[in-house]
A and B are shown apart, each in its own frame.
Chain A
């Protein structure tokens, strides 16, 4: 027994952690999947000496983490939910940083022919009319909320849909995997789609309608509500995110030659 315990203790190697300034920020899966965070984080570390720990969750969970004071700031994209978050006093203010856009993905043969749709709502109507398989995030995330608002703008109610509407209750990547497996239509943010590697028979079919623009906003958690949050670091990070350097990095970030994000913060 003694030998056994010694063996266990010996194997439990302790790794040391560095003592740089650390803060926690909850971000959406779509932001992280885009790969932009891998560009920005090292620069933030260089310029500010802040180690930003990213918690990659859906917008719904990000807002919950912020409201509970478990993170110092959040970067999400669901305006209504953000305004509610601010109204509750959970955040100090909302700062718009950049936007990207949502796109409609579907099987290459495009049985619902959404490629020729005139608007996003038209594309959704075509899918509903043909009852083509459609995968919904179904996880209360920013993307899911956006999708629901588009359905209602199209005059349709997902509650009444039949079997073809599959709410998977998963993150963007998992939902794309599901759509790829079922050869179904899905709404995704452009960044996640471009970085996604299991495309199978899917292709980008429709994009460009201005209602599909997806605004990212940065919200520091309110230190009056949670005294332990690192408000000073959150402020430093905000100033960096709206700086010319961030603007340059964001605007020039490309995947396969396509620009993903457009910086639109008021400086």
Chain B
């Protein structure tokens, strides 16, 4: 129990005094995960809309695979990205291994299936409501996609936030491809793993509290920016 209390106190002090290392790794966590979220959303949301609107032969199989990939173990993704980006791998010449870019790539792979699956679920229901209307208006494929993406934006936000949640707390993949290098690829989660390894539970816990606080702050900020959860709006 004393570890818990010490962790809380230490977290409080580090935040109040704006501990330089803490600020650095927190900003890096945000930068990596938000970049990954942006890229993953740009891939996953149109994909989800396309899967809801368009009927093609392998649609069911595609959706099943996408749903299954939600459970992809991060460490496996990390290993695959490592092998591909390694100097001995196919994309080794770019020298991307052990950089934040490699961490972003790994996180994109992890959260695209998650965002696409959740988004697809809600867009599918929306499409069943809009189907007759959009067909009768003779809307083109891209107009249909845009219409349901726009009208389903609240649900898509939930999908994106779920992706953010998975990416920000992820450690297995970014540990392998980022290497947890001090001042280069160390982020909150890998720092927590490192401090736990050293047996410094109080510091590890305080970093954990900072991580949770930051995740809450990002969620609130996005709700505020998009003006959801306000009076008179759904």
Is there contact, CB below 8 Å, between B199 and A29?
no
In the assembled complex, A116 has its CB within 8 A of some CB on chain B: no
Segment at the interface with A among B23-31, B118-126, B129-137: B23-31
The contact of A69 among B27, B88, B150, by CB within 8 Å, is B88
The contact of A1 among B86, B150, B197, by CB within 8 Å, is B150
In the assembled complex, B157 has its CB within 8 A of some CB on chain A: yes
Is there contact, CB below 8 Å, between B34 and A11?
yes
Is there contact, CB below 8 Å, between A13 and B157?
no
Contacts known (A54-B182, A197-B200); A13 close to B27, Cβ less than 8 A: yes
In the assembled complex, A236 has its CB within 8 A of some CB on chain B: no
Contacts known (A53-B181, A70-B86, A226-B87); A11 close to B197, Cβ less than 8 A: no
Is there contact, CB below 8 Å, between A68 and B86?
yes
Residues A166-216 near B (CB distance < 8 A)? 171-174, 176-177, 180, 195-199
The contact of A173 among B153, B196, B221, by CB within 8 Å, is B196
The contact of A196 among B37, B182, B198, by CB within 8 Å, is B198
B185 smallest CB distance to A (angstroms): 8
Main secondary structure of the interface of A (DSSP, over half): mixed
A1 to B227, CA, bound (A): 11
A53 to B181, CA, bound (A): 6
In the assembled complex, A24 has its CB within 8 A of some CB on chain B: yes
| A69 CB contacts on chain B under 8 angstroms | 86-88, 92
Is there contact, CB below 8 Å, between A11 and B198?
no
Residues B124-175 near A (CB distance < 8 A)? 149-150, 153, 157
Count how many pairs of residues, one from A and one from B, have CB atoms less than 8 Å apart in the complex. Answer: 100
Segment at the interface with B among A2-10, A104-112, A155-163, A244-252: A2-10
Is there contact, CB below 8 Å, between A11 and B95?
no
A228 to B93, CA, bound (A): 9
Is there contact, CB below 8 Å, between B27 and A15?
yes
The contact of A171 among B31, B38, B197, by CB within 8 Å, is B197
| B180 CB contacts on chain A under 8 angstroms | 55-56
Annotate B67-95 by CB proximity to A: 1 below 8 A, 0 otherwise: 00000000000000000001111001001
Contacts known (A54-B181, A56-B180); A173 close to B34, Cβ less than 8 A: no
A8 to B87, CA, bound (A): 32
Chain A residues with a Cβ under 8 A of chain B = 1, 3-9, 11-15, 17, 24, 29, 33, 53-57, 68-70, 171-174, 176-177, 180, 195-199, 226, 228
What 3 A-B pairs are tightest by C-beta distance, nearest first? A173-B197, A198-B199, A69-B87
14 contacts between A and B (CB under 8 A): A3-B226, A12-B34, A12-B38, A15-B27, A24-B98, A53-B98, A54-B181, A68-B89, A174-B197, A176-B199, A195-B198, A197-B201, A228-B87, A228-B95
